[in-house]
Amino acid sequence: MKKILVFLIIFLIPLNIYAKDTATSSIAIDIDSGRILYEKNADEKRLIASITKIMTCIIALENGNLEKDIKAGEEILKMYGTSIYLELNEKMKLIDLLYGLMLRSGNDAAVVIAKEIAGSEEKFVEMMNKKAKELGMNNTKFSNSHGLDEETKNYSTARDMAKLSIYAYKNKTYRKIINTKEYRVKTANKSYLWYNRMKLLNDYKYCTGGKNGYTPSAGKTLVTTHKKNKFNITIVTLNDPDEYNNHKNIAEMIYDNYTKYNILDKNDFDLINDDKSYYIKKSFSYPLTDKEKDQVKVLASIDNNITQGKVGNVKITLNNNLLKKIPIYLRKEKEKKENFFTKLFS
């Protein structure tokens, strides 16, 4: 017979209007739960310029040898725009190229990386589009590794780029790269000192990194991540003439109106029924406004006929919409061990 236990959580609905937004398309998402905190024209396809390099970076991190010396070939000769100014046949470690890619937006670094990882930029673009499909970036099409759009064009949406940002953020090395303010490199040819072109990293204390981009056709594009009190968010804006102030204002709006709540804690889940003890393997936290305090419910459902392993689920809802389903497991009873004196007298 199935028994139902009901709990009511008194906690803290998204703000749908933000008058100061200067971008054509924008979105803000909680990185951990995936909750959309704000959006405007988030599914409108647009040119994305150098925020393309987020995909270039994560593919290289997942498929390359970071300590390998890479030789810059003739592919760099056709590059223009932002550059780290590699010389023909100059060798640089892949990890250093990635810092040049993300901090200085090096288009030359992008094509060198693409050739190293896939053998050619065309093959690398295939990898980019395959990864985009895997991530559910259904409105995205990559045609190059750098974001320049005079000859080939990369299209995406604010929502799709936020999906990419959230995925990339899970990679520890990626997080370290985008959080770096300056970086030094020395090759056999020369020494480099790079400062991060993404200005918000210095100008806003809660910013933890990101990537900016610009072409005349795309306008200014920007992807950032922010952290305040363990509340991680990513923000994407496309065609935004005031991108840095806009990201700061959106972040402030979110942190002023949302609080991250630990709704279920796996280390503090004391559920006992019929002398049986249960546990969960995952905690769950979620950003909520104060208007949502009476709208979050947690429902635990347990099947007493199951005697081991998963025995039920915890369902967390907001306004009767399912947020998360977390499995419940039956805790094994610890066998009582006989001590020395018990064994002796028995």
Tell me the catalytic residues: 50, 53, 105
* Whole-angstrom distance, CA of residue 317 vs CA of residue 15: 19
Q: Which residues pair with 156 in a beta bridge?
A: 46
* Whole-angstrom distance, CA of residue 254 vs CA of residue 233: 9
Q: Which residues pair with 318 in a beta bridge?
A: 296, 321
* Whole-angstrom distance, CA of residue 225 vs CA of residue 142: 22
Please name the residue that has the structure tokens 């593919």: 59
Instruction: Report residue 51: phi and psi, to 5°.
Output: -70, -10
Pull the structure tokens for residue 108: 């030359």
Residues 6 or more apart whose Cβ sits within 8 Å of residue 178: 102, 198, 208, 209, 210, 211, 225
Residues 6 or more apart whose Cβ sits within 8 Å of residue 121: 75, 111, 114, 115, 144, 145
Q: How many CB atoms lie within 10 A of CB 304?
A: 14
Q: Which amino acid is at 203?
A: D
Q: How many CB atoms lie within 10 A of CB 311?
A: 19
Longest dimension (CA), the chain: 89
- CB burial of residue 112 (10 Å; 0-12, 13-18, 19+): buried
Residues 6 or more apart whose Cβ sits within 8 Å of residue 108: 72, 76, 79, 83, 84, 85, 86
* Whole-angstrom distance, CA of residue 320 vs CA of residue 305: 28
